[in-house]
Amino acid sequence: MKTLWHENIVVAQELVHSIRKMRGWKGYFIIKVDLSKAYDHMKWSFVHHILQEFGLPNVLTNLIMSCLSTVVTNVKWNGQRSSMFPPKCGLCQGDSLSPYIFVLYVDKLSHLISKAVEDGVWKPVKMGRNGSLISHLMFADDLILCGQANLEQMEVVKDILYNFCDMSGQMVSAEKTRIYFSKNVNSQTRRDLVSRSGFFEVSMLGSYLGIPLLGKSPRQRDFQHLLNKVEDKLTAWKAKQLSLVGRIILAKFLIQAIPVHSMISPYIPASVLKKIEKAERSFVWGDQQSKREFHAVGWQTLMKPKDEGGLAMRNLQSMNLACLMKISLWKAIVALWPYLVDGEYWAVGKSDSVSVWYDRWISADIIKLSNVMQVIPDHVANYKVNDMVKQDGQWDFELLSLLIPQDIIKCIKAIIPPRDNADDDRRLWTGNKLGEYFVASGYNQVNGFQNLSQSHIWNKIWKIKAPERIKVFIWQVTHERLLTNSCIAHRGNGQASCHHCVILEENILHVLRDCPLANLVWLHLLDQSNVANFFYPDLMEWIDMNLSRDLNATSKDDWQSVWAQGCYFLWYWRNQQVHNSSFVRPFRLWESILQNCRNYKILMVHMDSSQVVSKKQIMIKWMPPDQRWYKLNSDGLKVGDSGGTGYGGLIRDENGRWVVGFVRNLGIASAYVAKSWGVLEGVTLARQRGIDFLEINVDSKVVADGLKGDKQGCLEGWTIVGAIRKDG
C-alpha cells in the first residue's frame, strides 16, 4: 500500500486498534522490525542490481555507483586517526542522494512480501469485514509486518526477511524487534511463535514514525515524551538572559512545534496540552521556580491573531483538531464534522443536490442563505440550485428577485447556471483560494478567526519600522500593561507617585509623555505646530494619532519609528534609574533616539540591498497568430473591494482584422472570476462563429495555469474553467 507518511500513521493506528479488538478463531500478529544500522550494511552490489532493475540508464547507474564506491574514510583509534581507506559497503549519512537510494533498496522487501501475498503464501490482516488487506507498512526503515498467528506464517515471515537480508546485507536486530498479538491468540501459541521468531512479545508496540501506536484511548503517560522534550528545551535556555521578544520567538516557533507532529493522528489528552501551554506561559513571562513574574497580558489574548491584538501563539487543543481534520481516524470525524460543514463551499456543476438555502454555494465569503433570510417560503424550501434556472439555461432572475436580496443576486450573476452536461457539484474548502484544506485554515476555522474584523491600530503597530522588541513594547503599551507605580499600587504594593515628580501619579501616559523628563524629549522631536495636539489626547487616542500622522520635526525620519523608539527608551531609562542608583541618563536624550532610528534604517537598507532580485523588462506587443488561426485577447476588472466587476475582449484574425468584440457587466465577483468569464465569453463566441483554431491571450498567470491544467486556480472559478475546457 503506497501512502503518505501521515496516512501510514493512520493505517497503523487502525491496524493496532483492529488487532486489539479482534475476535474469532483466527488470531494475528504485528511485528515491528528493527534493522540494525540500516545505512551501514547496504551491499553495493545489491544497490547496483536494484538500480538496473528499476530501469535507470547505464550512464546514470554507473555515475551513482561511482559516487558510492569512490568514498574514502578513516577512524580515530586511541586518540589517533588511521590512514584513509575505502569502505566496502554502506551509504554516507547526510548525503542528499542516500535517502533516495535507500528507498529503492528497501522497496525490494515490499516486492517480496507482495509477491508472497499474491501467491497465497502470506496471509495478511483484513481491516474489517469489507476492509483492505494489510500485509506490511513501510516508510524508509520503519517496518511493520502482520499476518496470521501460526507457525507456518511465522516461517514465511522469517524466510522473506532472511532472503532480503542475504541479498542486501541488512541485519534484523532480534533484541529490538517487537511482536504484538491479537487478544484471541492463546498463551501456548504466543510462546511457540516467540520462541520460533526470537522476537520479544510486548503489550504495546511503542512508536511508529514518532506517534504512539496505542489502539485505545490515549492517556497522559502515553505522551509523557512530549512533556519531557519541552522540559529539556526550557532547561537548556536561560530565560532571565533572554529578552521578552526572544522568549516569545522561542516559545512560538520551537516549543509549540514539538507536539504538532504527534497531533496528526490521535487526540492528545487536554491535560498534556495544558501542561505544555503552562510551561510556555511561565517561560514567556520569565517565571522562576521560586518566583512568579508579572504576566502582563492574558494567554487567551496572546493566542489571538496579531491583527486582533494577540501574538498568534497557538491554542494547542485547536491545533490538534485542525490536524485531525487533515486526515483523521474514523472515531474523530463525528466530533470534527461541525467544523468541516462550516468550512465547506460548493462549486456548482449540475447542482441537482445542492440546496439553495441550506448549502453555501454563492461565494466562499457568503454564508448559507438560510442564515440571512428571515422567512423561507414553504413552496421553495426544498429547492435545489438547478430549480432557479429557466428552460433556456439562464438564471431565473424574476424568481430570484422575489426570494433573495438584490446584493446577493449581484453575486449570483457571476456564477455559471447549472447545466445537465456540467460536471458534478464539487465540495471545496473555504479557507484558501485553491479550495484545498490546509491545517492553518482549519485552525482559523476552529477558532473562528476567519470572521474577525481586523483592527487597524494593531496592524499599524506591526508595521512600525523598528526592531521587534520595540513593536512588542508598543503592543504592551496599547494593552495598558506596563508595570508603572500606579499599576503596582493597584496590586497592593508601593506608592502610585512618580519617582521624579513625587506628587503626581505615575501611569503609562505620565511616564511616556507627561513627566517633565519625557516632556523635554518630545519637545525636541516634535514639529512645533503639533506640540499642542500631542499632549492633549488620552492614551488610546494618543497611540492612534502617533501611528497615523507625521508629527516629526525633521522630514528625513519616519515619525512612527521615532515615536516608538522614544517611548521604548523613555521606559528603559526610567527603569534603569529606579533599579540602578548609579545610572545616569544620556545627555541630549532625543539625539540618542534619532541616532537609534537612523542606525536601524541603515541596517534595513543594507539588508534589503543584499536581497534585491534583478528585474528583467520585457516589451509586450500584439503578435498575429499563425496562419488560419484567430487570437482572443480578454481581460476582467474589479472596481475597489466591494465594487462591481466586468469583462471584455475581442477576437482578431491572422491579419489583425477585428472579428468580434464584447463587453459585459458581471455584478459582484473577484477579478479572477471576471478574467475567467472573459475567456469563456470569447471561446463561446468563437465556437458560434465556427472558429476551430483559437489562441487565447490573458494577462493572469493563475487563469492561464488553470486553463492549461498546470494548477487548479481559484476555487470560485472552478466551474468557469471547466466550462471553458468543455467548450474549447
Give the tens place of pLDDT for each residue, 444-476. 888 888 766 667 899 999 999 999 999 999 999
The pLDDT assigned to 261 comes to 87
User: Using CA of residue 521, residue 527, residue 530, residue 531, what is the dihedral sign?
Assistant: positive
| Range with the poorest average pLDDT among 128-132, 323-327, 400-404, 529-533 | 128-132
Taking only the tens place, the pLDDT of each residue in 486-533 is 998 888 888 889 988 888 889 999 999 999 999 999 998 888 888 888
Q: What is the DSSP letter of 370?
A: G
Q: Residue 337 is placed in which grid cell?
A: 464534522
Quote the Cα angle for 19-24-30, to 5°.
Answer: 25
- The domain defined by 630-727 carries CATH number 3.30.420.10: yes
Cα(303)–Cα(284) distance, integer angstroms: 13
Q: Residue 279 is placed in which grid cell?
A: 510551561
CATH of 3-73+84-212, one of 2.60.40, 3.30.70, 1.10.1760, 1.10.287: 3.30.70
Cα(728)–Cα(722) distance, integer angstroms: 10
CB 426 within 8 Å of CB 418: no
The pLDDT assigned to 711 comes to 59
The stretch 8-34 carries a mean pLDDT of 85
Residue 75: burial class (beta carbons within 10 Å; 0-12, 13-18, 19+): exposed
Closest C-alpha to 277, from 308, 319, 235: 319
Q: Residue 8 is placed in which grid cell?
A: 501510514
User: Which residues lie closer than 8 Å to 669 by C-beta, 6 or more apart?
Assistant: 411, 413, 414, 638, 645, 677, 716
User: Which residues lie closer than 8 Å to 377 by C-beta, 6 or more apart?
Assistant: 403
DSSP 404-447: S-HHHHHHHTTSPPP-TTSPPPEEEETTSTT----HHHHHHHHH
Percent of the chain with pLDDT over 70: 93
Residue 321: burial class (beta carbons within 10 Å; 0-12, 13-18, 19+): buried
CB 539 within 8 Å of CB 480: yes
Taking only the tens place, the pLDDT of each residue in 144-184 is 999 999 999 999 999 999 999 998 888 888 888 999 998 88
DSSP 51-72: HHHHT--HHHHHHHHHHHHT--
Cα(668)–Cα(644) distance, integer angstroms: 5
Cα(235)–Cα(231) distance, integer angstroms: 6
CB 249 within 8 Å of CB 472: no
Taking only the tens place, the pLDDT of each residue in 397-423 is 888 888 888 888 888 888 888 887 777
Residue 636: burial class (beta carbons within 10 Å; 0-12, 13-18, 19+): buried
The stretch 706-726 carries a mean pLDDT of 72
- Sheet strands (E) in 150-254: 178-181, 200-201, 207-208, 211-212
Residue 356: burial class (beta carbons within 10 Å; 0-12, 13-18, 19+): buried
The pLDDT assigned to 237 comes to 83
Is the pLDDT score of 551 beyond 50?
Answer: yes
The gap from C-alpha 470 to its chain's centroid, in whole angstroms, comes to 28
For the chain, which residues make up each domain, given as ranges?
A: 3-73+84-212, 220-323, 330-447, 456-609, 630-727
Q: Are strands 630-638 and 694-698 parallel, antiparallel or unpaired?
A: parallel
Judge if 3-73+84-212 and 630-727 fold alike in CATH terms: no
Is the pLDDT score of 686 beyond 50?
Answer: yes
Is the pLDDT score of 363 beyond 80?
Answer: no
The pLDDT assigned to 360 comes to 86
